[in-house]
Structure 1
Amino acid sequence: MMNLSRRFISIIACLAVQTAYLLYYFYKYGWYDPIILAGYPFVTLIAFWIGRQWDKAVYYAERDVLTGLYNRRSVPDRYRKAQRLASETGQMLLVAVIDCNQFKAINDRFGHRKGDEVLAEIARALLRGIPKRGTAARWGGDEFVVIDLCANREQAETVIDRLQSDIRSRSAAADVPFSVSVGWTLSRDAAADWEQLLSSADAELYTRKSKTST
């Protein structure tokens, strides 16, 4: 969902400038032109449009167009925010990597359009299953990452199991069946290095994928 705060900032700023001009005009000449007052609705509309373009620019700078998830470029900043929250709450950092199994075969057999639909379905499951404090991002191609906070390992397992269950349900209802593999890791250290946690989750992912392929 697109943040609307910049629209309000733009409106407030433009109305403040308009009001400052009105007060200056009145202070200098002892009266004001009614046209200035009549211009308030027009200024508000212009400010709203400017703010809307600003909101869109920021949204698409950090979002993946196909899935609506955060994009790879925005993940480091989201991770730093999770670190701060983990430090404040004493919770553990959860990092998960999700990979769509046999995605190339799906594209080859059903076409890239169906492949995109599969990625979108996985993204919907992530958006539904990850709380607002967390992050679901498209890392690249058919790979996704999740960042969240958990009180303990049991809670983390519940989060992952819920995601996988939702994805299985979506696959059963889809035209093209699909599945995912998930690798994840936990850290009690709020200062843990992002690349290290990602590497650990990635290693578990490929261990799981190698087991399922044999």
Structure 2
Amino acid sequence: MATGIVLLFNIIRYFYYHQYLALPFNWTFFILTAIFLGIAWVAGKQFDKVKYLSERDPLTGTYNRRTVEEYFHKAAKISDIKKQSLGIIMLDLNKFKEVNDNYGHHKGDELLIQVAAALNTFVTKHDLVGRWGGDEFVVLVDNMKENTADAYVKELQLAITLENVEASVGYAIYPKHGKSFQKLVQEADAYMYRDKKDK
């Protein structure tokens, strides 16, 4: 984007000075253009990096809580227009503390990265995976239907079962179980802890 603007500016600059004003062309024009393009490219890369870090969890690369909530509000509006539902899945890794205690936090971090990768592989391009905090993740599922939700959750649990560490999972569906993000998270969270107690 930034390099495109700089390139357009230099094209305009060329026509203004050398066509409109009929000033003699100087080879230094290319040097200045290259310098401007270089600065724009570096600035653009820095902007992309800052934007990425502001939206993502630094360990797993999944989206952070703020971005998940922002995405929910946009997705909910689209769901209303299409008269569709939107699923919120909360999941918590079982025995994760034991992994940290027995093998160290480095092993725990590796496990979180593996779970995040498994989640991203499982979901579709219309869904969104975020790290809620600690060993908890949240998944927003486009057009998740109540009659197929239980089957979907079981498949997801199988997909992320790694090294004997399973996940307790709960879900809530917009707008059936609530319309606010906070209400739906509470519902999914309560469901998840009931699942954890049953294990």
Find runs of 4+ consecutive structure 1 residues off by over 6 angstroms: none
TM-score (norm 2): 0.90
* 1:75–1:164 Cα change, 3 Å: same
- Give the 5 Å matches for 1:1-40: 9-26=1-18, 27-40=20-33
* SS of match in other structure, 1:66: coil
1:204 aligned to which of 184, 187, 191: 191
**Identity score, percent:** 33
- Which 10-residue stretch deviates more, 57-66 or 130-139? 130-139
Offset of residue 12 of structure 1: 0.8
1:184 aligned to which of 171, 184, 190: 171
Task: Determine if the alignment matches structure 1 residue 86 to structure 2 residue 79.
Answer: yes
Unmatched segments (≥5 aa) in structure 2: none
- Tell me the distance in 2 between the aligned counterparts of 1:114 and 1:151: 33
Asked if structure 1 preserves the Cα contact closer than 8 Å seen for 2:144 and 2:173, the reply is no
Task: Determine if the alignment matches structure 1 residue 76 to structure 2 residue 63.
Answer: no
Offset of residue 157 of structure 1: 3.2
Asked if structure 2 preserves the Cα contact closer than 8 Å seen for 1:83 and 1:191, the reply is no
- Tell me the distance in 2 between the aligned counterparts of 1:55 and 1:43: 18
- Which 10-residue stretch deviates more, 30-39 or 61-70? 30-39
Offset of residue 11 of structure 1: 1.0
- Name 1:3's counterpart in structure 2: none
Offset of residue 34 of structure 1: 2.8
- Which 10-residue stretch deviates more, 194-203 or 10-19? 10-19
- Tell me the distance in 2 between the aligned counterparts of 1:178 and 1:189: 31
Superposition RMSD in Å: 2.1
Offset of residue 151 of structure 1: 5.1
* 1:158–1:51 Cα change, 3 Å: farther
* 1:79–1:46 Cα change, 3 Å: same
* SS of match in other structure, 2:131: strand
- Tell me the distance in 2 between the aligned counterparts of 1:66 and 1:166: 20
- Give the 5 Å matches for 1:1-214: 9-26=1-18, 27-150=20-143, 152-168=145-161, 171=162, 174=163, 177-188=164-175, 192-212=179-199
- Tell me the distance in 1 between the aligned counterparts of 2:67 and 2:149: 23
